[in-house]
Amino acid sequence: MISSVEGILAGRSETSIVVETGGFGFEIHVPATALASLGNIGERVRLSTYLHVREDALTLFGFATEYDRGVFMALLGVSGVGPKAALAMMSAGSAAVLAGMIRGEDVPSLVRIPGIGKKTAERIILELKDKIEVSGESAGPAGPATRPETLEEAVAALMSIGLTRNNAERALDRVDLEGDAADYTVEDIVRMALRKVPH
């Protein structure tokens, strides 16, 4: 399995990128959240990847973090959820926000994702609510290193719903977190930040 790809960002579309490395150009399908966090053409990127194998195709999917890839693979383990539906779910918000929806049994939010009906949403919750982890829950003691990662995931989530990076960061700067950011889920931080979005 190709577990990661690192190279030069050579192309991008609305749903995929091309990464050149070792003389090869890999087409990698990525969720909108990962696409928003990538740099410009010509810059170096690194993605955690998952290779989906079918009889007639090999499709490579890429994610900003190992955690994101883990959530994607967990979704693929649910009966009736294929790569296209899983990618759509990953594109609807950050992986941590999605995990929070599943853990919170939030069917209404899940069915707003294109291609996800009520029965599929209920099946996802039934099979994953006790298995999927919200980012940071099992990361060990909170410390300075966990704060930037949590906030960066919140920035990506805000960008995935239409905010510019500048406005997302300004909104997060206005959020008054009591203690370390690792004490909050990304979903909590996003919810607080949305109240502070500059108009």
Ordered DSSP codes for 84-117: HHHHHHHHSS-HHHHHHHHHTT-HHHHHTSTT--
Determine contact, residues 10/33, Cβ cutoff 8 Å: no
Q: What is the pLDDT of residues 5-31, one digit of tens each?
A: 999 999 999 889 999 998 999 999 999
Mean pLDDT of 64-79: 90
Domain boundaries of the chain, sorted by first residue? 4-63, 68-128, 146-194
Q: Would you state the pLDDT for residue 169?
A: 75
Give CA–CA dist 51/60, Å, rounded.
5
Q: Which own/partner contact pairs does 97-100 have at CB distance under 8 Å and 24+ positions apart? A: 97/157, 97/186, 97/187, 97/190, 98/71, 99/71, 99/132, 99/133, 99/134, 99/135, 100/134, 100/185, 100/186, 100/187
Determine contact, residues 175/193, Cβ cutoff 8 Å: yes
Tell me the two tokens of residue 132: 């999927």
pLDDT confidence of 123, banded at 50, 70, 90? very high
CATH number of 146-194: 1.10.8
CATH number of 68-128: 1.10.150.20
Tokens 């607080």 map to which residue? Answer: 192
Architecture of domain 4-63: Beta Barrel (2.40)
| Cα 189–chain centre separation | 15
Q: What is the pLDDT of residues 24-37, one digit of tens each?
A: 999 999 998 888 78
Cβ-based neighbours of 107, under 8 Å, separated by 6 or more: 118, 121, 122, 125
Tell me the two tokens of residue 130: 């006790």
pLDDT confidence of 44, banded at 50, 70, 90? very high
Q: What global pTM score does this model have?
A: 0.65
Give CA–CA dist 33/38, Å, rounded.
9
Tell me the two tokens of residue 198: 């500059």
Residue type, 15: T
